[in-house]
Structure 1
Amino acid sequence: MFSNITDVFNWLNNVGVFAFLMVLIPAVYNLVKPILTHKVQTEKNAHVKQGLEVGLNLANTIVPEMAVMAGLSLSDRKKEAIRFVNSQLTANGFDLDIQTISGLVEKAYQAYKVAGGDNHAPVVTPAPTEVITPSEGTDSND
């Protein structure tokens, strides 16, 4: 198998390098994996946070536009606002689920309503009341 002692040492040297690499690679992987996982998670969280901020800004933009559309029912207004926000988020590379987008639209609507911009309730004009003046209903010739 081995023709001389040099071949034996070369073989042992190669086996030693191979064994060293077999130990080193998993050790480095185990050290680097948590760092990489944390980095990926941080990037993902930042992307989701940015998507939520963009979604809320879009919802804050579309809610006042939908609120003045008297021809749409309340549910149609909300559906249209959700559709708008979803399409704009998708066009900008964000992928949020419909429940999240619905929540953003609802949050924007509640803020709009608190600010006094809600016009869903019909405007009620008070009926004129009759005011009896002293000259009416009294007999001044008594």
Structure 2
Amino acid sequence: MQIFKQITDVFNWLESTGILAALAALILVVIKQVQPYLKTHIKNKQLNQVTDFALTTVTKFATLAGLSKSDRKKAADKDVADFAAQLGLTWVTPEIVDSIVEAAYQQFKKLGYDNHQPQTLPEPTEPAEKPATPVQTSASSAAPVAQSSALKPEGVGHSASQAPQTIQSVANSGSDQNA
């Protein structure tokens, strides 16, 4: 009983001095200030989860050769929307899913993983005889190109040989200043 009386006395003292009210007000203010930050933080974490899943899904569907590009996108949209629904993310709309999948595909391309060209059948070629004059024209037009490209390596080699001399002279002038 004596412990209960001491607890009651402390509580009454905190209440009578106003410390209890000030403490309660402080807790309420802190909660009100931190709540928007926590909501934003939670939403960002959820968005990161959905974005990571979208990149995984885009990677999965990009390797399927049997689907067209629009079918791949529809399948990725559906998978990401289902994932968001499983997590209980009610704020994820179809427009958001579409933009997340598109961003994931752009990141997929940026990372250099999009090397899957759509499968195309080779077009049937008809044996057609080409006249000899266009070949001669292209050969005659290629001659000036060959001459101009022959000039470039000499110019490049000349300027490249000057560059080390410049660097060497700068290095020598720097060592003279230190001495």
* TM-score interval, smaller chain: 0.5 to 0.7
Matched, 1:90 2:122: no
TM superposition outliers: structure 1 runs of 4+ over 3 Å: 27-35, 120-125
Quote how far apart the aligned CAs of 1:88 are: 1.5
Aligned equivalent of 1:117: 114
Q: CA RMSD in A?
A: 3.8
Distance 1:82 1:118 in 2: 21
**Greater share of helix:** 2
Q: Is this contact kept in 2: 1:66–1:81, CA < 8 A?
A: yes
Quote how far apart the aligned CAs of 1:52 are: 0.9
Higher relative CO (CA 8 A, sep ≥ 6), structure 1 or 2? 1
Aligned equivalent of 1:60: 55
Distance 2:116 2:45 in 1: 31
Aligned equivalent of 1:81: 76
Give CA-to-partner distance per residue, 1:11-57, whole Å, 9 cap, x none.
xxxxxxxxxxxxxx8x9998765533322212211111111110111
Q: Secondary structure of the equivalent of 2:114?
A: coil
Distance 1:57 1:71 in 2: 24
Quote how far apart the aligned CAs of 1:122 are: 3.7
Matched-pair identity in %: 26
Distance 2:79 2:61 in 1: 10
Distance 1:32 1:100 in 2: 36
**Number of matched pairs:** 114
Structure 2: gaps spanning 5 or more residues = 1-20, 126-179
Say if 1:123 and 1:46 are closer, same or farther in 2 by CA, change over 3 A. same
Aligned equivalent of 1:14: none
Quote how far apart the aligned CAs of 1:124 are: 7.9
Aligned equivalent of 2:44: 49
Q: Is this contact kept in 2: 1:59–1:81, CA < 8 A?
A: yes
Give CA-to-partner distance per residue, 1:57-87, whole Å, 9 cap, x none.
1011111211233333322221221221121
1:1-142 mapped onto 2 (5 Å cutoff): 34-98=29-93, 99-114=95-110, 115-122=112-119
Structure 1: gaps spanning 5 or more residues = 1-24, 128-142
Q: Is this contact kept in 2: 1:51–1:96, CA < 8 A?
A: no
TM-score where L is the length of structure 2: 0.46
